[in-house]
Each structure stands twice: as C-alpha cells, then as structure tokens.
Amino acid sequence: MAYLGIPANTMAILKKYNFSFQKKYGQNFLIDTNILERIISESEITKDDCVLEIGPGIGTMTQYLAESAKRVVAVEIDRSLIPILEDTLSGYDNVTVINDDILKVDIQKLCDKYNDSRPIKVVANLPYYITTPIIMGLFESHVPLKSITIMVQKEVADRMQQKPGSKDYGALSLAVQYYAKPEIVAEVSPNYFIPKPNVSSAVIRLTRYENPPVEVDDEHFMFSLIRASFNQRRKTLANGLANGGLGLDRETVNSVLEKMELSLTVRGEALTLEQFAKLSNLLGKKGNS
C-alpha cells in the first residue's frame, strides 16, 4: 500500500493520472504524515465509528480513516478524482466513495444507510470556499453527529472559538458554540499542502452537545435575531433588531432590553449566547402575545 501522506507517493499518483488541481474546488492536498496522524488521533476514531469524509481528494486522509474506523463514507465533487480514489483505496473494503456535492447530499440518508441511523463522526480537510455552509448544514439539519474534526482556515477556526468583546466574535461563533464545544487542536503551516494555500490553517474539533448549553424556545427565531444583530455590525442591537425584517417594533425591543438590564445602545457583539437565548425567549413571547 502506497501511503499518500508521503510526498513522493502523492507526486507519483498525480503524475500517473496527469491530475490538474482545480482552484474552484479548494484543492490543497495534505502531504505530511505527522499532521495526518494528529488529525486521526484528535478525532478519537475507534473501530466502532462510521466516518463521513468531505472531499477525500486523492484519498490521503481516507487511507488513515479506513484503517482506524469501522466504515468511511467519502463524498467528493470532482469527477476526475473518482478513478484515482478507486486506485489509492483499492486495499480497503470499508470505504464508499460518492461522487457528489456535499451541499446537495442527504446526510441523514447516509447515516441511515451506513450506520443504522446512529451518530457519525465527520473528519475533513475542508474546501475553504464553503466551510461555513458545510458546518451550519451539518448542525442545522440535526443529523446524528458525535463530532466534527476539520481543517479550516486558521482565522475561521479562531472565529468559532471567540467570546463576546472580540472583533471576530459573530454569528458563526454563536452558532458553533450553541451546538458544540470547539477546541483548536493543531495549527498547520501552508508547507504541509500541495499546492500551498495562501493562508494558515488549523484543525478544530467540534464535539456535539447532547443538549445545547442554553434553553431556547425557538432556535430558528434566536438565529434570526443573531443574524440581524451582526448583519449591520456598527448599528446598535436595538436598531439591528427593529430594522432586521423580523416584524419587531422599537418599543418591544427596548422594553425587552430594559427587562434584561441592557443598555439601549448595546451592540450585538457584547451579548453572550445565554443573553441571546434570553432575548429570543422574551421577544418570542412578546411576539406571540
């Protein structure tokens, strides 16, 4: 078995298939065995796990996943990679490759089919151009998930972990922290990829909460409030909400802010997840009464 984490083996495969990288698909392949081993150990995969890999590329990480997990389902958009994956993964009988766009795949169906509807783990070196829709899609669709361990742009990993008061704190931080516990487990230099990306990367593990850390009556409504408050960052929270197309009038918003003992000029970026949950519960009740 030629392990692709070894650069010479990756070069040989790229040459054999005369592969040309497609920028539009965010193709940066890993060529470092240490970082691959690190991702596998941090994702805490066991022989009981079914893993969904998003974007297997030429199968570099898939080889490691196949050796650690019970089953691997890998979804790759680029048709030209499918014959390569058949070659590089021919030694494994526990890998299924699906040629599709992950944003169009019914992941619940994959869980049902390959893991008897039990929670899966997601492990991926993500295509950076669609990091947020992939993560949000996984959480919001409520597919059964144990964890998501992913390589993302370092700056995006930082945003997922941020707390109120930081300039990088925003809708993504709140959404991730509502569904999961985020932990950056490795920082990765561009030198570990071919071709080298223009940005630094990080591996972040998101461990799904069984129950969210805050109680919210209407999750959808809370996320609409969060989006409205960060859409116009320089506006006050009251302005953002009253003009956010949510059907909330200024008087209602002000009375709830007062009830929460918040200044009428407070900005969304100062509120914790707990405060957004409370705001949502109070505004939701007002709206319904």
Question: Exactly one of 13, 27, 40, 216 binds ligand SAM (CB under 6 A); which one?
Answer: 27
Decide if residue 49 touches ligand SAM (CB under 6 A).
no
Residue with tokens 């958009």: 77
Phi, psi of 91 (to 5 degrees): -80, 0
CA 171 to CA 36: how far, in whole Å? Answer: 30
**Which residues in 63-122 contact ligand SAM (CB under 6 A)?**
75-78, 101-103
Decide if residue 55 touches ligand SAM (CB under 6 A).
yes
Residue with tokens 């497609």: 22
**Which residues in 168-207 contact ligand SAM (CB under 6 A)?**
none
3-state secondary structure 103-130: HHCCHHHHHHHHHCCCCEEEEEECCHHH
Neighbours of 167 (CB within 10 A): 9
Query: What is the size of the binding site for ligand SAM (CB under 6 A)?
Result: 22
Question: Exactly one of 17, 21, 25, 92 binds ligand SAM (CB under 6 A); which one?
Answer: 25
Decide if residue 5 touches ligand SAM (CB under 6 A).
no
CB 43, min distance to ligand SAM, A: 13
Decide if residue 13 touches ligand SAM (CB under 6 A).
no
Decide if residue 280 touches ligand SAM (CB under 6 A).
no
CA 204 to CA 36: how far, in whole Å? Answer: 14
Per-residue mark of binding to ligand SAM, 119-158 (x: CB under 6 A):
------x-x--x----------------------------
Reduced to 3 states (helix: H, G, I; strand: E, B; else coil), residue 208 is strand
